[in-house]
Structure 1
Amino acid sequence: MIPPRFAPILFGFILSGFMSFLVSAIATVRTVGLVEGFISSSIGAWLFSWAVAFPTVLVVAPITRRIVARLTPQR
């Protein structure tokens, strides 16, 4: 089990994995279509995207939380 203090990092890891997979798969389909070798091309694009997305999420998430807190009323 992962200690609760790592929850934000785990959340960012999982979220960035899902989102980068979806976006890179769509971009790959739009670029090359559903051709032979699509899966390997898509996975290669996804792994590169995830390597960028994960640290980006860790940096951008706290900034986004602060912006959302300022734009929404507090109880």
Structure 2
Amino acid sequence: MISAKYRTVVFAFFMALFMSGFMSLVISIFNVGLIDNIVSIWLAAWAFAFCVAFPTVILVAPVVHKLTTKIVRS
């Protein structure tokens, strides 16, 4: 198991993995349709999207957390 001190990084990894995977699939299908090689197109898009999404989640998550804390009542 991974130490609790890496919770933020593990959270960011899985959030980026699932969101980039789902969004790249949806956008790939939207752009080219359900063609024969959609899986290879999607996987290439997912690899690129994850490389952008992971550092983005690392940088944006603290800001989103602070905004959420301000907006939601205790």
> TM-score band (shorter)?
over 0.9
Aligned to 2:33: 33
The aligned runs of 1:41-56 (5 Å cut-off) are 41-56=41-56
The normalised TM-score by structure 2 is 0.96
Q: Does 1:72 align with 2:56?
A: no
* Unaligned residue ranges in structure 2 (runs of 5+): none
Return the offset for 1:73.
1.7
The normalised TM-score by structure 1 is 0.95
Q: Deviations over 1:19-69 (max 9, x none)?
A: 000000000001111111110000000010000000000000000000111
| Count of residues in Structure 1 that have an aligned counterpart in Structure 2 | 74
Stretches (4+) displaced over 3 A: none
Q: CA RMSD in A?
A: 0.7
Aligned to 1:19: 19
Aligned to 2:6: 6
AA aligned to 1:16 is A
The sequence identity of aligned pairs, in percent, is: 32
Distance (whole Å) between structure 2 residues aligned to residue 69 and residue 9 of structure 1: 20
